[in-house]
Amino acid sequence: MFGNMGNMAGMMKKVQKMQAEMAKMQEELKSRTLEVSAGGGAVKVVITGEKQIQSLKIDPSAVDPADVEMLEDLIAAAVNEAVKKVDDLMAQEMGKLTGGLNLPPGMF
């Protein structure tokens, strides 16, 4: 009966260690940036690990007053891809820590 208590305590220590490692990794990811472009480089977005747009660059050749909708689409595509890359990076890094435990999204 008491043997199971020792296993539970050991498991809790492992969970606490994993949570501490995840918190550290999340802090490290916050300081990272990713660059994404759309339209062959016409629009470039730099995003942080906190999903904050750090910069947005638009090639002047992409600015056509007669076709503002295309530019809007390029910006949306670049921002959406940047956010997806942050999510993918987070999932990849979390996977390293959880060792393929297949935890539900958002658990940590």
Domains along the chain with CATH numbers: 2-98 (3.30.1310.10)
Residue 58, pLDDT score: 97
Note the pLDDT of residue 100: 55
Sheet holding 53-58, edge to edge: 33-38, 43-48, 53-58
Burial of 18 from C-beta contacts in 10 A (0-12 / 13-18 / 19+): middle
Structure tokens belonging to residue 6: 């020792």
Nearest to residue 76, comparing CAs of 38, 33, 48, 47? 38
Q: 10-residue block means of pLDDT along the chain (108 residues)?
A: 68 82 84 93 95 96 94 96 93 76 55
| Residue 98 and residue 91 in contact, taking contact as beta carbons nearer than 8 Å | no
pLDDT of residue 64: 93
Report the half-sphere exposure of 36 (CA within 13 A, side-chain side): 22
